[in-house]
Structure 1
Amino acid sequence: MAYDLTDKLVIGISSRALFDLELENGIYQTEGVAAYSAYQRAHEDEPLAPGTAFPLVRALLELNAAIPSRRLVEVVVISRNSPDTGLRAFNAIEASKLDITRAAFTGGESIARYLQAFKVDLFLSRDASDVQAAIDGGVAAAQLYDVPPTYQAPAKQIRIAFDGDAVLFSAESERIYKQKGLEAFTRHEQKNRHKAMTEGPFAKLLLRLAEIQQHFPPRQCPVRIAIVTARNSPAHTRVIHTLRAWNVAIDEAFFLGGLPKDQILQAFGAHMFFDDQEYHVELAATVVPSGRVPYKGGQLIFDKSLTRSVQGTQSKAPPMPTAKGEAVVAASKPPKKGKPAPK
């Protein structure tokens, strides 16, 4: 009987998200494919340092030992490397004692069409175009930033933190805030406080993680989930009612009302944090592994309220002004750190 992935949490990951391949990527960018391939062959038996997603992947794979009768998690390397250069990643996986046995090496071709074939629930990469293609194809995906140099992963629990709007939930409310301002956003959320929000790109991943949590006693669950959102009262009410409608119990929630998220995330000890706004991801990435979630279609959400004075504490993130005086949520700009992965 063929192996079935439908009842498992499937993580698709690029080799550069799993391991630190920034030196190798630099060779590819500056010297080309031939030099990159030669370097990978010459060093294919040398170990690789962990990449941004390594702690999360290791911790998720360890869940399989918790319930020997049922495998909960599968990780698949999905990379633009060629089969030849991809050998180094497999060697590093073996040396790191990671229980990963499946991979797809596309030799420079787009990986997006293979994500559904592998039933991927979450795709992690350093490459902006691959992440965008995954989101456009309906797969939860994030572009990872550099791992914080002093980061220490939690030892006893898998801790994952999510932003709310445009990540777990749709971008509808975010768009109202950006285009019409805080007062319109607040009125909309109060009017719809008992109406569940539409699912965002990471909603299905949240539901899958909630299913895994059901396999463990509440106080012994190795997976802990938090929402870290710029919403505050009264906009928090709709978040709770949405989670109830989805039959999901979040372990922790932080309604920050525009406060920076980095100190909360550091205290929470996240293995990974997902947010749609570059402002928040750059800050979070200084303390915990973080990934930016692009908008479907690469769409931009413009903030027209910057032309008027807004008094009081905002309940969403500080806007990012552009040269024209507008503010925009970056949708396709890659992180300042990190370049496209080898094709």
Structure 2
Amino acid sequence: MDNQKLVVAVSSRALFNLDESHTIFETQGKEAFCRYQIEHENEILPPGFGFSLVKKFLDINKAFPGAPLVEIILLSQNSADTGLRIFNSINHYDLAISRAAFTSGVSPYEYIPAFGAHLFLSANGEDVRKALAAGYAAATIVSGAVANPSPQLRIAFDGDAVLFSDESERIYQQHGLAAFAANERNEAHKPLSDGPLKEFLSALHRIQTHFDQELSPIRTALVTARAAPAHERVVRTLRAWGIRIDEALFLGGMPKGAFLKAFGADIFFDDQKGHCDSAESHQIAAAHVPHGVTNQNRP
């Protein structure tokens, strides 16, 4: 079962709100930050942007009586010493997280493959860019939301440069919409190459196969700016991958936020900050995937 398990790595700042101590780190330096964390290690940290997502992931294990289907790993730039406050908070909230890497200020992304993580979710954009550049699935959580009361975990994805490669997006960026549409018609039967979050979606799909579709604890959606006829290549790509996606929204460039709200997304992954902002404006947690042509030469 272990090789079928979904493993998600989260940073301490994605899991908990560490804004206060992070400000001390940025303004007063590492020593002041360490002192602050040790002095306050018995104070429970408030939830961060990714907290409700992590909780829903862990709750999936309660719905399946066999071996755990999901594991959450902590990857933190804290030291083991200052990390005591983080684990005290994990215990307080009764989160089943036992594995961690504390790297004392060094980017922890190199531990992603060692833990077998399908996704690294962090509040540190630089760590995420390093992880993506090394070929690992990663996203920067940039906004939170009021927790969705539904017990079902609902995850929405953009298509190009997220689930799929940016090969078609490059044509759009360089040659315009007409050239993009013509290419997608001509290549409709040729599956798109894998994007950075394809294996994460595949791992979600494996969990779904353990449940009847109407009883699945996970529901997925593709929310893309594509429209007909460019939709066909996407449908055929997912079919070629053998992956079921529960809902597919082809919006033809419409803002995504209202549709994400209607879907009830717990989190939305997109390569464009503007779409993340649209999600945030509708109180949907958003994670930026700084991958592909639209993110080249951008900070």
Asked if the contact 1:11–1:76 (Cα under 8 Å) also holds between the matched residues in 2, the reply is: yes
Distance 1:55 1:155 in 2: 11
Aligned partner (choices 284, 289, 299) of residue 285 of structure 2 = 289
Aligned partner (choices 211, 231, 237) of residue 236 of structure 1 = 231
**Greater helix proportion:** 2
- With 217-226 and 106-115 compared, the bigger mean Cα shift is at 106-115
Asked if the contact 1:17–1:125 (Cα under 8 Å) also holds between the matched residues in 2, the reply is: yes
Which residue identity does 2:61 align to in structure 1? N
User: Is 1:86 matched up with 2:78?
Assistant: no
Q: CA deviation at 1:282?
A: 1.8
User: Is 1:180 matched up with 2:175?
Assistant: yes
1:201-239 residue CA offsets vs partner (Å, 9 max, x unmatched): 011111110000000011111100000000001101111
Asked if the contact 1:77–1:102 (Cα under 8 Å) also holds between the matched residues in 2, the reply is: yes
Q: What residue in structure 2 maps to residue 220 of structure 1?
A: 215
Q: CA deviation at 1:154?
A: 3.7
Distance 1:245 1:21 in 2: 42
Number of residue pairs matched by the alignment: 298
Asked if the contact 2:157–2:270 (Cα under 8 Å) also holds between the matched residues in 1, the reply is: yes
Q: CA deviation at 1:21?
A: 0.7
SS in 2 for 1:285: helix
> RMSD value over aligned CA atoms?
1.3
With over 3 angstroms needed to count, the CA separation of the structure-2 counterparts of 1:132 and 1:89, relative to structure 1, is same
Distance 1:115 1:238 in 2: 31
Asked if the contact 1:145–1:291 (Cα under 8 Å) also holds between the matched residues in 2, the reply is: yes
Which residue identity does 1:288 align to in structure 2? I
Q: Which runs of 5+ in 2 are unaligned?
A: none
> Which runs of structure 2 are paired with 1:51-66 in the superposition (5 Å)?
51-66=48-63
Asked if the contact 1:40–1:85 (Cα under 8 Å) also holds between the matched residues in 2, the reply is: yes
SS in 1 for 2:185: helix
Q: Which runs of 4+ in 1 moved over 4 A?
A: 331-334
1:7-53 residue CA offsets vs partner (Å, 9 max, x unmatched): 31101110000001111111110111111111111111111111111
SS in 1 for 2:114: coil
Q: Which runs of 5+ in 1 are unaligned?
A: 302-328, 335-343
Asked if the contact 2:165–2:193 (Cα under 8 Å) also holds between the matched residues in 1, the reply is: yes
Distance 1:56 1:210 in 2: 17
SS in 2 for 1:123: strand
Aligned partner (choices 43, 46, 54) of residue 43 of structure 2 = 46
Q: CA deviation at 1:156?
A: 2.2
Which residue identity does 2:286 align to in structure 1? S
Q: What residue in structure 2 maps to residue 16 of structure 1?
A: 13
Which residue identity does 1:104 align to in structure 2? A
> Which runs of structure 2 are paired with 1:273-312 in the superposition (5 Å)?
273-286=268-281, 287-295=283-291, 301=293
Q: CA deviation at 1:331?
A: 4.7
User: Is 1:33 matched up with 2:30?
Assistant: yes
1:78-133 residue CA offsets vs partner (Å, 9 max, x unmatched): 01111111111101000011010111001112212111101110000111111011
1:146-167 residue CA offsets vs partner (Å, 9 max, x unmatched): 314xx23242210000000000
Asked if the contact 2:143–2:287 (Cα under 8 Å) also holds between the matched residues in 1, the reply is: no
Asked if the contact 1:128–1:332 (Cα under 8 Å) also holds between the matched residues in 2, the reply is: no
